[in-house]
Structure 1
Amino acid sequence: MTLRLNKFLAMNTGTSRRNADEIIKSGKVIINGEKINNLAVFVNPGDEVVVNGKKINSKEDQKIYIMLNKPQGYITAVKSDDGFRTVMELIKREALKYKHIFPVGRLDFMSEGLLLFTNDGDFAYKLTHPKFNVTKTYIVEAKGELTDDLFNRIKKGIKFGEAGLLKPKNIKVIRKTLTRFMLSVDLTNGKNREIRRLMEFFNLKITILKRVSIGKLYLEDLPSGHYRILNAGIAELSLGG
């Protein structure tokens, strides 16, 4: 997209357009090797823009990685044709600044927790394809009595139609009572609604399903509905499962 030079600088450096005008007039901007001091200049796709010796990359070309603590009541989609709220509404500011951002993987409508966004297709592929074996950890709270026999059956997994074997990579009990229990569940294959299908098979009602980590990237104390921009190095932790 062709942009006036001051707008390009404002969008990609965080400065104001007025300050961008001063930078241009001072002769500190070079476009494709030519020094610029004309405010009427435009930047075209592919142009190399340098300010004070530093190359300025368009945010359309920059990769971005976002960690969101998804609340319940949002669908994991870029848009909804049925009027549902989407997770994109929670990162609207960044979605307007950067092009082609999308959620990586999914959390269903009533699930919550760690959800990543990016415009880096290669990163998303590595995060979601089963061959990369990235571990996702979930906290599951459910109603019912968790006997030793039932726990072992959940741990063993079930065959579920076309989905095949639904079986956690790891599972452990965090706490339990006669009427309620909480588990930590690790998955790697990312099958649709895997934990919910597994619990429903044993007539267990989930009250909380929250993803707390992807690889070595942890949700920690990020409040529900809030997000954090990650640098590429931190985002790579999510591939370290």
Structure 2
Amino acid sequence: MPSMKKYSSDIINAMIAQATSPQKDDYLNNVLYEMCKKSPKHTDIGVIYAKLSIIGRTYAAALERTSKKEKKSNIIFSTAISKIIKDGELDALINEARMVKLPISLEFSSVDLNAISKILAPHAYLSRVLSQAAEIGKVSLSSKYLHFHLPDLYPIYDKYSRKNISKFTSSTGKKFEYKNCEESYAKFFIRCLILKNSLMKNHKKKLSMRQIDNLLLGKNPTF
């Protein structure tokens, strides 16, 4: 069974205190949460463009950032947004994920795995659409974008959090099948969930996905 790596209680408590304290970017993040809360749908070109632009640029994961120098940003955005609106799939997947109860155990049942699959489905879709438009991987942007729409479900994924999650959890094991998902994010998601649930079970500390991100990045509180 996947598990959290061993740290002393004092070290864990210190890291939790740091991760759950006020942060200098709290107000900025609240602006992004509020933006997505007020305009959660994906039916309007301007709204989708604004959300992708603001979240991407704020979090150093801009959609227009690509290895194809000759590919203009307006083409990338137009390709991605038109696909999202035409499919109408993203809102349906998000709504289905919204109804899922996040697993709280450390040993996932078939019901838990089904729930995880539904949570990962919007990310797989969005990552595929954005990556095809930019012709470069957009796994991180997709995680950040979905986090601000459903902050209780989606941990933020980037090269730093991906590296640091290994300091807290072992591998996810061979039980999990990564079908119909973006595998690198799926593995990261499960390890974040194990960390979150371990802190609750073993230390009686309930951290949000935002606070898990603070923990992984070792963010210092602001006073």
TM-score, normalised by the number of residues in structure 2: 0.23
More strand by share: 1
TM-score, normalised by the number of residues in structure 1: 0.22
Which structure has the larger Rg over C-alpha atoms?
1
Which structure has more relative contact order (CA 8 Å, sep 6+)? It is 2
